[in-house]
Amino acid sequence: MPNLFLRGWNWCCRFRHRCGYGVHSPSDFFLITFVVYERLAFYAYNLLHAKRKQVEHLPHYREKTDRLLFRLVNHLQPRNMLEVGTGSGLSARYMSEAKHVPLCTFDEGKEHEEVISLLKDAPEVDYRCGNVLSLLRSRVEGQSCPDIVHIAFTPYYKEAFDMLLPYVTSRTCFFIGSPYATKEKRQWWKQVVADSRTGVTFDLYDVGLVFFDKKRIKEHRIVNFF
């Protein structure tokens, strides 16, 4: 119940940031109105909805947020993807259904049988567990950063961001999961938005988007996504 009240309060605070009001960039307006606020039912929604119950005891987003990730991937059309902090595996499955390209997803500790079962029908997803930062280091050293990076259910969000930052390209987009989860993460998210190395950023409360195309003027968009 407290979470419901908090979301209601934040919806009121963001009321004027709905539907792309005040956004003059055509590409940003399109992203907000035709991707974030898209309400059409995509082909994979029913299939993925049916799989949620088997992993709902593991860390995951609400279904609306996972569907947003699906639409973002479908819109951005990445060549490859990376996820740090697998959680339930639902987000990886939504992203992989949107675009069948290689997706590495790393989680701390041991593999979960439920996650393996969820991802078995997604052969493009490479699910690995162990020391997340070691796995990440071996993935990125000497390579360019994947087009989409989802920093999700991990306490090592700062370390992962800092490790990946030197490898980003103009095509890279970071999905930052739950940027308001804790006071510490909120402060870090503000630093990411203000960082001169990042480009256009979007704050959707449940997830933050960070682009790195330095040809564009650095701007920060707040979107009412509740």
What is d(CA 92, CA 69) in angstroms, rounded to the nearest whole number? 9
**pLDDT band, residue 18 (cuts 50/70/90):** low
Indicate the residue type of 164: L
Phi, psi dihedrals of residue 105, rounded to the nearest 5°: -130, 125
Neighbouring-strand partners of residue 150: 83, 175
Of 8-12, 47-51, 73-77, 113-117, minimum mean pLDDT range: 8-12
Q: What is the pLDDT of residues 102-137, one digit of tens each?
A: 999 999 999 999 999 999 999 999 999 999 999 999
pLDDT tens for 133-184 read 999 999 988 788 999 999 999 999 999 999 999 999 999 999 999 999 999 9
Report the alpha-carbon distance of residue 64 to residue 69 in Å, rounded.
Answer: 9
The tokens describing 9, both together, are 């309060």
Model confidence at 206: pLDDT above 70: yes
**In terms of Cα–Cα distance, which of 221, 203, 200, 220 is closest to 211?**
200
Residues in the chain: 226
Q: Can you give the pTM of this predicted structure?
A: 0.90
Average pLDDT rounded to a whole number, residues 48-62:
95
